[in-house]
Amino acid sequence: MRTYTFKPLRGADWLALYKSEGLPIQQEFLGELIGFFTTEIGDISQIVHIWAYKGLDDRLERRDRMAADSRWQEFGRKVKALDILVSMESRITRPTDFSPLK
**What distance in Å separates the CA atoms of residue 51 and residue 27, rounded to the nearest whole number?**
10
Report CA 7 to chain centroid distance, whole Å.
17
End-to-end CA distance of the chain: 14
Question: Which domains can be identified in the chain, with CATH numbers?
Answer: 2-88 (3.30.70.100)
Rounded to two decimals, what is the model's pTM?
A: 0.88
Tell me which amino acid residue 35 is.
G
Report CA 100 to chain centroid distance, whole Å.
22
pLDDT in tens, 41-81: 999 999 999 999 999 999 999 999 999 999 999 999 999 99
Work out the number of other CB atoms within 10 angstroms of the CB of residue 3.
Answer: 16
Residue 17: pLDDT above 90?
yes
